[in-house]
Every structure is written in C-alpha cells, then in structure tokens.
Amino acid sequence: MTTHCHTFQGVPEELGATRAWLRRLLDAHPCADDAELIISELATNAILHTASGDPLGTFHVVAVLTDHVLSISVTDGGMTDTVPTNRAAGAPRRQRAEGSAWCPPWPPTSRSAPGPTGRPSPQNC
C-alpha cells in the first residue's frame, strides 16, 4: 500500500493541478480517466461549497493505492457562512456525479515508503 498526499490552494485554477497530480500517480492505469473525473468533482465541491474556497483556503487530497483499490479522499476547509437552500417546487434537479468507479487490479507504483506496520508513515501525509 502506498499513500500519496498533497495540499492545494482553494481556487478554481488549482483543479487542473489536482487532476495532473493524480494522473502522474496513476501513470497509464486504465482507470486514470475515472479517477481524474472523481478527484475533479471532489475538489470542485471543496472549493465551491466549503471554506476551502475562501481567500487563503486550501483542501488536502490523499490517494491510497493497493493492488486492488484506489481510495481518494479530500479534506476541505469546513463550513462557510452560506446556508443551504431548497429548490423551488417543480424546479429541475441538478445532475449528480457518481463518486466511484470499478477499477481492475494493477501493481501500485511505490513512491511513499510504508511505516513499520505496513501502513504509511505519518510524516508522508
């Protein structure tokens, strides 16, 4: 298992850098396109709907790769001053993006050394 992490600035211009970072980790894996779409959705949500999108805001991405699983998580800046609103009766629903995709197994590329328990060392993230 390898763990990769990075903190990005909470601005829309960082979305391309977020996708490129994950694509480099996955090299030419057949699920790289799906993973890129998922990270784009998660990062966009962090910027648009949390304090990550505030001035000086950030979001933190962790990608964990095993022989059979890619786990992508985004930690955002938490709540903002905005209040959720209900859509008007009869108004069309927004499209929802799915946040997962099936990926075939692949050998992970080792870029972060595991700790003594086989888990990533805390200093890696």
pLDDT tens for 68-101 read 888 999 999 998 776 666 667 776 655 444 444 4
On whether the 1-79+100-107 domain is CATH 3.30.565.10, my answer is yes
- Residue 113, pLDDT score: 42
For residue 29, what pLDDT is reported? 82
pLDDT at residue 46 is higher than 90? yes
pLDDT > 60? residue 104: no
According to the model, what pLDDT value does residue 105 have?
Answer: 53
Q: Does 58 or 28 have the greater pLDDT score? A: 58
Residue, of 111 and 83, whose pLDDT is higher: 83
- Give the confidence band of 66 by pLDDT, cuts at 50, 70, 90: confident
Strands 2-9 and 70-75: unpaired
Q: What is the mean pLDDT of the chain?
A: 78
Phi-psi domain of 90 (left: phi exceeds 0; alpha: psi -120 through 50; beta: other): left
pTM above 0.75, yes or no: no
Q: Any idea where the domains of the chain sit in the sequence?
A: 1-79+100-107
